[in-house]
């Protein structure tokens, strides 16, 4: 609740005089006169009439013109006193909600106006200023003597994520002739953060099962593990049970343990906020749809106790390694809510920066509206290394932007699981099935004797099956389960024979095996 009264100010408040040349001063003076004419047309009309009456009386000696001038002058004085006294006798308080809010929620507030004077107020305009798009908290009410207060309730539906301002509360009053409108500010300014809408999504990006063995790249995370990799300074939301007391005593600051994530499965979400990849406006824009998708994916998998990493580069940048703590999730959600789509970091640059963080234990979800580019080849290379890649393409043409269907075709042609989202689509429905043949059922899974899952390889109607990522050591068993794709019911089994010069199974220069698969 806010009930702090600030200094009132009259309608003729002008701009502060700033140093500058005479031309700038003239422009400011002209704008001030124009603004005053718009705010007080009746007053300036009366002043013009008084000038005409004065000139008429001087020219003709007509006494009635002089008397009318006196009456108009008395009217101006009484109106000024009425307006000033009326504004000084008002008090107000406002109760605003504190949140948290998400898109689609309703925000409401209560405003109470008090008349501390002994005269009624026939017209009082109350407005709680706000930067919320499409929202206006404004109403007009009378204030009497018998009931010297008025309570009003206002509410609005939030349609866009972001950081917005509520306040200050402004009360406007005027004399009966509206010669001297005045406004008084009460309270201060509150900031609210509106999070993206969270929608229920299907399990379209579940990572590979837990892998046996170690990776060349190890990650630090806050998840519970048997191995502690390092310590860092305490942050809000960290568990007190993870404080490393010896380091805390040595440094004089609270330090918490970071656990080695090892070979456990994890998921990365990449939200592309490059300025050139956007289309649409407001809630019907690729950025708003992308934010809803990013927040929903993070929420779905983090609530399933899966370490989720996030990378986004808009008006704010955030790269958060995979973690499953509540503080990590809140940090990611706040970034998605506040960041605007004005970034200058391309998707290819983001993938290059995070390349060393991806492994066979990684499931990667890319949310973008970008057109065709080298970033598609980068995703294909990640998939050949065993990363499970899922790309959510926002159809720019449906949002009124440049068509990016060529990027969808290249993604599908590269064997990448691709989901297309158009304006007005149900997000859960759009993520229920991928575009084209890039479906999980069209892939064969290759497993080594030690249980390390190899990369998913699409089974084409004809041609060799490339086993990327294997070294070709003797004794490697290769098996592919049934496929529901073009070669339904196909099963492959075999044993790698010793490599003989000229053998068709000899690995090529790129280290891949190739064997013709016959029906």
3-state SS string for 32-96: HHHHHHHHCHHHHHHHHHHHHHHHHHHHHCCHHHHHHHHHHHHHHHHHHHHHHHHHHCEEEEEEC
Q: What is the mean pLDDT of residues 285-302?
A: 96
For 205-247, how does the pLDDT look when each residue is reduced to its tens digit (9 = 90+)?
987 654 444 444 444 444 445 556 677 788 766 777 778 888 8
CATH 3.30.1120.10 fits 1-195, yes or no: no
Judged against a pLDDT cut of 50, whether residue 324 lies above it is answered with: yes
Q: What is the DSSP letter of 442?
A: G
pLDDT band at 446 (very low <50, low <70, confident <90, very high): very low
Q: What is the mean pLDDT of residues 132-154?
A: 87
Q: What is the mean pLDDT of residues 156-170?
A: 92
pLDDT band at 305 (very low <50, low <70, confident <90, very high): confident
Lowest-confidence pick of 33-37, 68-72, 163-167, 305-309:
33-37
How open is the CA angle 171-153-91, to the nearest 5 degrees? 30
- State the Cα–Cα distance between residues 518 and 442, nearest whole angstrom: 17
Q: Mean pLDDT of all residues in the chain?
A: 77
| Percent residues over pLDDT 70 in the chain | 71
pLDDT value at residue 392? 97
pLDDT value at residue 217? 43
Judged against a pLDDT cut of 80, whether residue 27 lies above it is answered with: no
pLDDT value at residue 207? 77
pLDDT value at residue 18? 42
**Peptide bond between residue 235 and the one before it cis (omega within 30 degrees of 0):** no
Instruction: Note whether 348 and 172 are within 8 A (CB).
Output: no
pLDDT value at residue 398? 96
pLDDT band at 142 (very low <50, low <70, confident <90, very high): confident
pLDDT band at 194 (very low <50, low <70, confident <90, very high): very high
- State the Cα–Cα distance between residues 325 and 468, nearest whole angstrom: 35
pLDDT band at 180 (very low <50, low <70, confident <90, very high): confident
Exposure class string for 208-222: b at 16+ Cβ within 10 A, else e: beebeeeeeeebbbb
pLDDT value at residue 160? 92
Q: If you average pLDDT over each of 293-297, 355-359, 470-474, 504-508, which comes out highest?
A: 293-297
- State the Cα–Cα distance between residues 459 and 285, nearest whole angstrom: 37
Instruction: Note whether 412 and 437 are within 8 A (CB).
Output: yes
Strands 106-115 and 121-130 turn out to be unpaired
pLDDT band at 487 (very low <50, low <70, confident <90, very high): very low
Q: What is the mean pLDDT of residues 73-84?
A: 88
Residue keyed to tokens 């990684």:
362
The side-by-side arrangement of strands in the sheet containing 149-157 is 90-95, 106-115, 149-157
Strands 388-394 and 417-421 turn out to be parallel
- State the Cα–Cα distance between residues 332 and 298, nearest whole angstrom: 8
pLDDT value at residue 497? 36
Instruction: Note whether 62 and 157 are within 8 A (CB).
Output: no
pLDDT value at residue 126? 93
pLDDT value at residue 513? 40
Name beta bridge partners: 258. Answer: 230
Instruction: Note whether 460 and 490 are within 8 A (CB).
Output: no
- Indicate the helix (H) or strand (E) that contains 321: strand 317-323
Name beta bridge partners: 185. Answer: 170
The side-by-side arrangement of strands in the sheet containing 255-260 is 220-221, 255-260, 228-233
Q: What is the mean pLDDT of residues 106-122?
A: 88
Instruction: Note whether 109 and 137 are within 8 A (CB).
Output: yes
- CATH fold of 261-438 reads Rossmann fold (3.40.50)
Residue ranges per domain, the chain? 1-195, 261-438, 440-519
Instruction: Note whether 83 and 178 are within 8 A (CB).
Output: no
- Exposure on the CB side of residue 258, measured as CA atoms within 13 A: 15
| Of 267, 191, 160, 193, residue with least CA distance to 223 | 267
pLDDT value at residue 256? 82
Long-range contacts of 146-153 (CB under 8 A, 24+ apart): 148/114, 148/115, 148/116, 149/112, 149/113, 149/114, 149/115, 150/112, 150/113, 150/124, 151/110, 151/111, 151/112, 152/110, 152/111, 152/112, 152/113, 152/126, 153/108, 153/109, 153/110, 153/111
Structure tokens of 129?
Answer: 């200023």
pLDDT value at residue 112? 93
The residue that leads in pLDDT, 483 or 168, is 168
pLDDT value at residue 32? 65
């Amino acid at each position: 609740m806010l009930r702090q009264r600030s200094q009132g100010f009259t309608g003729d408040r002008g701009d502060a005089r700033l140093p500058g040349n005479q031309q700038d001063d003239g422009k400011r003076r002209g704008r001030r006169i124009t603004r005053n004419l718009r705010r007080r047309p009746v007053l300036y009309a009366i002043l013009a009439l008084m000038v005409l009456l004065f000139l008429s009386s001087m020219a003709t000696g007509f006494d009635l013109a002089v008397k009318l001038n006196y009456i108009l002058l008395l009217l101006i004085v009484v109106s000024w006193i009425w307006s000033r006294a009326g504004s000084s006798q008002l008090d107000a308080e406002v109760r605003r909600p504190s949140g948290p809010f998400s898109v689609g929620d309703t925000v409401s507030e209560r405003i109470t106006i008090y008349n501390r004077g002994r005269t009624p107020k026939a017209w009082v305009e109350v407005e709680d200023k706000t930067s919320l798009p499409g929202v206006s908290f404004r109403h007009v009410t009378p204030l009497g003597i018998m009931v010297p207060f008025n309570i009003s309730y206002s509410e609005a539906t939030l349609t866009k994520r972001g950081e917005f301002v509520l306040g200050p509360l402004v009360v406007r009053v005027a004399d009966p002739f509206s010669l001297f409108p005045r406004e008084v500010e009460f309270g201060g300014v509150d900031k609210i953060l509106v999070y993206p809408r969270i929608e229920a999504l299907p399990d379209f990006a579940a990572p590979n099962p837990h892998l046996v063995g170690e990776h060349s790249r190890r990650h630090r995370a806050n998840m519970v593990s048997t191995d502690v990799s390092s310590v860092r300074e305490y942050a809000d939301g960290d568990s007190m049970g993870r404080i490393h007391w010896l380091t805390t005593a040595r440094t004089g600051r609270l330090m918490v343990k970071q656990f080695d994530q090892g070979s456990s499965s994890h998921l990365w979400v990449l939200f592309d906020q490059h300025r050139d990849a956007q289309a649409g406006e407001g809630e019907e824009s690729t950025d708003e749809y992308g934010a809803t998708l990013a927040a929903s994916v993070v929420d779905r998998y983090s609530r399933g106790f899966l370490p989720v990493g996030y990378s986004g580069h808009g008006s704010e940048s955030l790269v958060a390694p995979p973690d499953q703590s509540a503080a990590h999730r809140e940090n990611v959600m706040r970034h998605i809510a506040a960041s605007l789509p004005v970034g200058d970091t391309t998707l290819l640059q983001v993938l290059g920066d995070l390349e060393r963080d991806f492994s066979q234990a990684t499931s990667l979800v890319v949310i973008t509206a970008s057109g065709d580019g080298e970033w598609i080849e980068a995703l294909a290379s990640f998939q050949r290394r065993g990363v499970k890649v899922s790309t959510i393409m926002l159809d720019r043409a449906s949002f009124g932007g440049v068509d990016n269907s060529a990027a969808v075709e290249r993604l599908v042609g590269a064997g990448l699981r691709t989901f297309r989202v158009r304006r007005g689509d149900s997000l859960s429905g759009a993520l229920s099935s991928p575009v084209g043949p890039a479906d999980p059922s069209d892939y064969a899974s290759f497993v080594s004797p030690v249980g390390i899952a190899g990369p998913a390889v699409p089974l084409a109607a004809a041609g060799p099956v490339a086993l990327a990522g294997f070294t070709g050591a003797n004794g490697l068993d290769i098996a592919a389960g049934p496929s529901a794709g073009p070669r339904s019911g196909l099963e492959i089994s075999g044993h790698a024979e010793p490599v003989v010069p000229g053998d068709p199974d000899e690995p090529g220069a790129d280290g891949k095996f190739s064997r013709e698969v016959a029906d």
